[in-house]
Amino acid sequence: MYEQIARNKRRTFLMLLGFVVLITLVATAIVLLFGGGWVGIVIAFVIAMAMAWGSYYNSDKIAIRASRAVPADEVEYRRYHNLVEGLCIAAGLPKPKLFIVNDPAPNAFATGRNPKHAAIAVTTGLLEKMNRVELEGVLAHELSHVKNYDILVTTVAVTAIGTIALISDIGLRFAFWGSMSGRRDNNGDSGPIGVVIAVASLAVLMLAPFAGYLMQMAMSRNREYLADASGVLLTRYPPGLISALEKLQDDHAVVHNATKATAQMWIEQPLETDPKKQGSKFNNLFDTHPPLEDRIKRLQEM
């Protein structure tokens, strides 16, 4: 398991590099589509790097705001704070900032760029429906994401995927209205090469958001299995997390403020509403999380 953690840390760097490359490709496609030269491409690369740097430092704040989470009062949510403090001592982690999402659906997520700048958010539904050992299992799972540095790549993915989708959509809209108005650009006057560049640029703009989602899904599934196992090692009580996952499996409520961009951050698929999808490999192909029944089965075998 420790080898898997080290491997995931290396993959984290590659994933972050992949998002930078994807943003650069999208920005470059827009520049080429509208007749920009090498100067425009360099500017696009600089913009992509600046956005990646901004995502690194601010994506956790964006994720918290997107979920409409508020700080968890230490008096009102004393059990929540006590459990996290005890688990942090056992794991050798600094206590993260704790937040509450006012939502009846039971769920939770961790965010931040490293253990020193981490945050955990749980829904009011989770606090109401989980007993102490179940809640401890869920919190241990989220702290495992913090300890394994999963939070960095999943948090950056929130802003990266949103950025890719936004600038791709803007580029396609400008290209559509430009063609409708009969506008001719530099690519249109450069013969077959210009046509190839235009077609390739449009293809990048259309496929980039899909590629971003594929990267998001690829980085989420194995990390969930690993966080389950790490969380159980932290609590030394597998039945706690197993029982929590069984309750999540039986509850089909959705998190109202969850989006496709933030879906991979939650402990369970926050947008899933069709229980018939469980167990179908084809239907679950585009889920950010492995099926809960598979996660429960793995924990039962530990």
Phi, psi (5° rounding) for residue 231? -65, -40
Q: What is the pLDDT of residues 168-184, one digit of tens each?
A: 877 777 766 655 445 44
* Confidence band of 212 (pLDDT split at 50, 70, 90): confident
Q: What is the pLDDT of residues 139-172, one digit of tens each?
A: 999 999 998 888 877 777 766 777 777 778 777 7
pTM as predicted: 0.75
* Confidence band of 187 (pLDDT split at 50, 70, 90): very low
224 is catalytic: no
Q: What is the pLDDT of residues 89-125, one digit of tens each?
A: 999 999 999 999 999 999 999 998 889 989 999 999 9
Considering the candidates 134, 136, 142, 272, report the single residue annotated as catalytic.
142
Q: Domains in the chain, ordered, with CATH?
A: 2-65+152-218 (no CATH), 70-151+220-300 (3.30.2010.10)
Whether 281 has a pLDDT exceeding 50, the answer reads no
Rounded to a whole number of angstroms, the distance between the first and last alpha carbons of the chain is 12
pLDDT, mean of residues 188-214: 73
* Average pLDDT score, the chain: 80
**Could you tell me the maximum CA-CA distance found in the chain, to the nearest angstrom?**
70
The C-alpha atoms of residue 134 and residue 241 are separated, in whole angstroms, by: 6
Q: Which residue has the higher pLDDT, 31 or 137?
A: 137
Residue 200, Cβ neighbours under 10 Å: how many? 13
User: For position 48, what pLDDT does the model report?
Assistant: 67
Amino acid code (one letter) for 146: V
